[in-house]
């Protein structure tokens, strides 16, 4: 069989594979630190799950398990946000710009537990920010292979309508979500739950993965009518476990045009525990969450089956939802492709564990902080009730070592597939935490190219931390 020639079409200091939540911030961070940066994305837009998957950006603020303390923290957003916000830098800049332009909903003008957005406005903003930073975009291009030399990444191979093309680079950032670049470099990985997860000691099975799911948009919804109905019967309303707003708080937030998420309990078969409702900047439009399907997001057959299952389940949900007050004339606006929460965990220099996250272990190479409670199926006895188990104003440090692909001198892995156990990944994979890891990797890669450092491990961690702090990252 004849092999098609691969044309070298460009070269860069830093190449980022994947334009989702981690990749966009990685590219901006690298470019703003002086590196010629190329961002490769398989779709025609940037933002991944927050633009193409209807997901919100979460969590920007520290987490307090008790409702009364969470209410105090929400109030602090308006008076002294630095008390409670844990995500800064480019990650917060994006939220601030969306809120200021009316394309994002926060609380008291600030990014809090959740920020939900106008997807199309968000797509435009990301293009604008890439132009401002000088990031070179290559859309509609799928990374299919790696060019390696002496164990290092020297380029990526893409496939598109133009065929095979190659882009050379000094530093590479894997923001594919599934660690595709790392796998092609031979970096070890695990899938789902392993013996390193405490849940296995309490009966969970090795290999279990967090289910895939979809967040779909519905139009022509009278949210005020829905909330009134939900308040008439206590069983209709439940506090969304991470946003932690009481019924009165949800109503007050909605009346002010702010983020007002909750769970509506209905009892219909397809959603026996109810469904989550997130209001959006566009009046009458909400995002609903979450039908789910089991499977391996790296396998075509599983993805295909999941897409077909989601289409049927969403259809069934809609048939029931229109019977509820406020949804009588609602219609389906958008059901995105399946959202994959977990597949591979790429081996890094450090493996982040549930104990590290929950106990807020201090890391000398901390490059940012997360605050999303552990959101993974688990049987850890001391973490049965996620809503209340966490201490007051809790957050956790993210070590640089879990971004470094084991055995490869110039490859960062960012986002949901970095080096963490299944349980710990439940705190790393949410969108804001992914963005934070991307910002660190972009800055580190740029510093290395600027100083002629071939191996990321030779970079002065203090210099990286100073650079990130100067960008507004909370360490």
Structure-token pair, residue 118: 């106008």
Distance separating alpha carbons of residues 198 and 421, to the nearest angstrom? 10
Contact at 8 Å (CB) between 166 and 8? Answer: yes
pLDDT at 387: 67
Strands (E), 18-63: 37-40
Contact at 8 Å (CB) between 338 and 303? Answer: yes
**How would you classify residue 450: left for phi > 0, otherwise alpha for psi between -120 and 50, otherwise beta?**
alpha
Contact at 8 Å (CB) between 246 and 312? Answer: no
Contacts of 427 (CB under 8 A, 6+ apart): 357, 370, 372, 373, 374, 375, 396, 433
pLDDT at 345: 98
Closest to 40 in 3D by CA, of 118, 122, 123, 144: 144
- Find residue 217's DSSP bridge partners: 287, 334
Q: 232 by DSSP, 3-state: which?
A: helix
List, as one string, the DSSP characters of 289-353.
E--EE-S-TT-HHHHHHHHHHHHHHHHHHHHHHTTSTT-TT-EEEE--SPBP---EEE-BSS-B-
pLDDT per position as a tens digit, 156-213: 999 999 999 999 999 999 999 999 999 999 999 999 999 999 989 888 899 999 999 9
List, as one string, the DSSP characters of 338-371.
PBP---EEE-BSS-B-HHHHHTT---TTEEEEE-
Q: Strand 189-191 vs strand 163-174: parallel, antiparallel, or unpaired?
A: unpaired
Contact at 8 Å (CB) between 454 and 357? Answer: no
Contacts of 450 (CB under 8 A, 6+ apart): 33, 34, 35
- Walk me through the domains of the chain, giving residue ranges and CATH numbers: 1-203+341-475 (3.50.50.60), 212-334 (no CATH)
pLDDT per position as a tens digit, 12-44: 999 999 999 999 999 999 999 999 999 999 999
Q: Residue with structure tokens 């963005």?
A: 435
Instruction: Please state, in angstroms and as integers, the Cα–Cα distance from residue 121 to each residue in 91, 108, 116, 133, 463, following that order.
Output: 17, 21, 12, 18, 35
Distance separating alpha carbons of residues 14 and 26, to the nearest angstrom? 10
pLDDT at 376: 75
Nearest-5° Cα angle at 426, 59 to 90: 35
pLDDT at 2: 41
Distance separating alpha carbons of residues 187 and 170, to the nearest angstrom? 18
pLDDT at 68: 85
Per-residue pLDDT of the chain (475 residues; tens, 9 = 90+): 345 568 999 999 999 999 999 999 999 999 999 999 999 999 999 999 999 999 999 999 999 988 888 889 989 999 999 999 999 999 999 999 999 999 999 999 999 999 999 999 999 999 999 999 999 999 999 999 999 999 999 999 999 999 999 999 999 999 999 999 999 999 999 999 999 999 898 888 999 999 999 999 999 999 999 999 999 988 899 888 888 889 999 999 999 999 999 999 876 766 667 899 999 999 999 999 988 999 999 999 999 999 999 999 999 999 999 999 999 999 999 999 999 999 999 999 999 999 999 999 999 999 999 999 988 776 787 776 766 788 899 999 999 999 999 999 999 999 999 999 999 999 999 999 999 999 999 999 999 999 999 999 999 999 999 999 999 999 9
pLDDT at 382: 74
The Cβ-side half-sphere exposure at 396, using a 13 Å CA radius, reads 27
Q: Which helix (H) or strand (E) holds 231?
A: helix 223-232
pLDDT at 283: 94
Q: Which helix (H) or strand (E) holds 396?
A: strand 396-399
pLDDT at 290: 87
């Amino acid at each position: 069989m004849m092999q098609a020639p691969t044309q070298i079409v460009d070269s860069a200091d830093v190449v980022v594979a994947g334009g989702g939540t981690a990749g966009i911030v990685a590219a901006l961070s690298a470019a703003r630190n002086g590196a010629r940066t190329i961002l490769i994305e398989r779709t025609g837009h940037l933002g991944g799950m927050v633009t193409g998957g209807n997901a919100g950006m979460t969590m920007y603020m520290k987490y307090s398990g008790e409702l009364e303390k969470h209410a105090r923290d929400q109030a602090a957003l308006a008076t002294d946000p630095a008390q409670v916000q844990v995500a800064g830098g480019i990650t917060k800049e994006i939220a601030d710009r969306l809120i200021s332009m009316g394309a994002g909903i926060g609380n008291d003008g600030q990014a809090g537990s959740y920020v939900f957005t106008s997807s199309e406005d968000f797509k435009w903003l990301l293009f604008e920010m890439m132009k401002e930073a000088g990031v070179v975009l290559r859309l509609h291009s799928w990374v299919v292979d790696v060019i390696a030399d002496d164990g290092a990444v020297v380029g990526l191979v893409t496939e598109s309508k133009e065929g095979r093309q190659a882009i050379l680079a000094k530093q590479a950032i894997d923001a594919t979500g599934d660690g595709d670049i790392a796998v092609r470099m031979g970096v070890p990985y695990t899938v789902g739950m392993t013996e390193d997860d405490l849940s296995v000691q309490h009966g969970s099975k090795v290999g279990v993965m967090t289910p895939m799911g979809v967040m779909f948009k519905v139009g022509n919804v009278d949210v005020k009518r829905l909330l009134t109905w939900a308040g008439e019967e206590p069983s209709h309303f439940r506090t969304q476990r991470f946003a932690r707003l009481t019924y009165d708080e949800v109503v007050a937030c909605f009346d002010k045009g702010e983020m007002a998420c909750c769970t509506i309990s209905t009892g219909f078969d397809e959603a026996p525990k109810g469904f989550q409702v997130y209001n959006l900047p566009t009046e009458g439009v909400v995002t609903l969450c979450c039908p789910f399907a089991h499977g391996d997001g790296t396998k075509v057959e599983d993805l295909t089956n999941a897409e077909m299952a989601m289409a049927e389940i969403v259809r069934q949900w809609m048939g029931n939802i229109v019977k509820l007050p406020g949804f009588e004339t609602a219609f389906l606006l958008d059901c995105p492709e399946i959202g994959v929460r977990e597949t591979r965990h790429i081996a890094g220099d450090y493996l982040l564990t549930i104990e590290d996250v929950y106990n807020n272990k201090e890391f000398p190479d901390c490059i940012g902080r997360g605050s999303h409670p552990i959101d993974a199926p688990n049987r850890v006895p001391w973490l049965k009730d996620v809503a209340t188990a966490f201490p007051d104003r809790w957050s956790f440090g993210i070590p640089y070592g879990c971004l470094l692909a084991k055995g490869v001198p110039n490859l960062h892995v960012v986002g949901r597939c970095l080096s963490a156990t299944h349980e710990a990944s439940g705190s790393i994979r949410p969108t804001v935490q992914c963005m934070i890891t991307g910002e660190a990797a972009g800055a580190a890669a740029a510093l290395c190219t600027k100083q002629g450092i071939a191996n990321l491990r030779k970079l002065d961690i203090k210099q990286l931390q100073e650079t990130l702090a100067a960008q507004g990252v909370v360490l």
